[in-house]
Amino acid sequence: MVSEYRIGEFKLSSRLIVGTGKYQSLEQTRACLEASGTEMVTLAIRRLDLSKKNAPNLLDVIDPAIYTLLPNTAGCYTVEEAVTTARLGREVCQTGLVKLEVIGDPKTLYPDNEATLEAAKILIKENFTVLPYVIDDPVLCKKLEDLGCPAVMPLSAPIGSGLGIRNAHNIRLILETVSCPVIVDAGVGCASDAARAMELGVTAVLMNTAIAGATDPLAMARAMKLAVEAGRLSYEAGRIAKRAYANASSPIEGMIDIE
């Protein structure tokens, strides 16, 4: 059984956090969330259209009795935009949880470090539970933990790129530097990417495009569920040491002499 973990006051078993963008329909969204086994679901508040009161919307397929809602500030490029969007998310979703994104570059969608720190300070003072999306920088992650963020979310590669873990060394450094949960966010492309991230020792993996953009999203959701579970179990089991040369599986001692 995969061990439980905490993010602030929230206790979770599934180590797969799933986004809700880019699916072909609300029904596909619902089916993929169920297949993934996720317990925490993130949604972009700025892309949530609540103006049509009688029309179905994303919140219709995310049952708060089943899923922990994680509103995010995707699409925000300034501190003011991010803080305002976080406040809106608290009102809409009735939660103080927020995945903080303050983008600094429209091409790479890399986060703005300074703006992320500033926005985090403001939101933490307003009693938000802030989960910041950040560059894979151990110094920045430590600063955010010291501010009061209960987890940090370093990227593995640019959002939606599917490139997988680009810098495993930095992820390891972050794990050594902070004591809070580390959630790899963005860049995962396939199940082996998710398993590799978990084998590094991260707490969880967050993804959206890897599932929604797959040829068969439902099958990929199942694959990601299994990959995250397998990767975590592999990490907890403890891998063998790497060797430069062969090491026989059977011991030499006690071998029968053949003449």
Which domain CATH number covers 188?
Answer: 3.20.20.70
The answer to whether position 140 is within a domain reads yes
Look at residue 158 in the predicted model and tell me its pLDDT.
87
The answer to whether position 248 is within a domain reads no
Question: E strands, the chain, where?
Answer: 5-7, 10-12, 16-19, 40-44, 68-72, 97-100, 129-134, 153-154, 183-185, 204-207
What is the C-alpha to C-alpha distance for residues 218 and 250, in angstroms, rounded to an integer? Answer: 43
The answer to whether position 21 is within a domain reads yes
What is the C-alpha to C-alpha distance for residues 93 and 241, in angstroms, rounded to an integer? Answer: 46
166 close to 157: Cβ distance less than 8 angstroms: yes
pLDDT, tens digit (0-9, with 9 covering 90-100), for 103-155 = 999 999 999 999 999 999 999 999 999 999 999 999 999 999 999 999 999 99
The answer to whether position 242 is within a domain reads no
Look at residue 106 in the predicted model and tell me its pLDDT.
92
pLDDT at 259 over 70: no
Share of the chain above pLDDT 90, in %: 77
In the structure encoding, which two tokens stand for residue 221, read together? 């959701």
The answer to whether position 5 is within a domain reads no
Placement of tokens 């010291």 in the chain: 146
96 close to 123: Cβ distance less than 8 angstroms: no
Look at residue 42 in the predicted model and tell me its pLDDT.
95
- Per the structure, the count of domains in the chain is 1
pLDDT at 188 over 70: yes
Identify the active-site residue in 22, 53, 99, 143: 99
The answer to whether position 243 is within a domain reads no
pLDDT, tens digit (0-9, with 9 covering 90-100), for 198-255 = 999 999 999 999 999 999 999 999 999 999 999 999 999 998 898 888 877 766 666 6
pLDDT at 185 over 60: yes
99 is catalytic: yes
Rg (CA), the chain: 20
The answer to whether position 15 is within a domain reads yes
Return the biggest CA–CA distance within the chain.
88
What is the C-alpha to C-alpha distance for residues 76 and 3, in angstroms, rounded to an integer? Answer: 34
Look at residue 243 in the predicted model and tell me its pLDDT.
87
Task: State the chain's mean pLDDT as an integer.
Answer: 92
Look at residue 51 in the predicted model and tell me its pLDDT.
66
The answer to whether position 255 is within a domain reads no
Placement of tokens 């450094």 in the chain: 173
221 close to 189: Cβ distance less than 8 angstroms: no
Domain that holds residue 213: 10-237
pTM of the model: 0.90
3 state SS of 206: strand
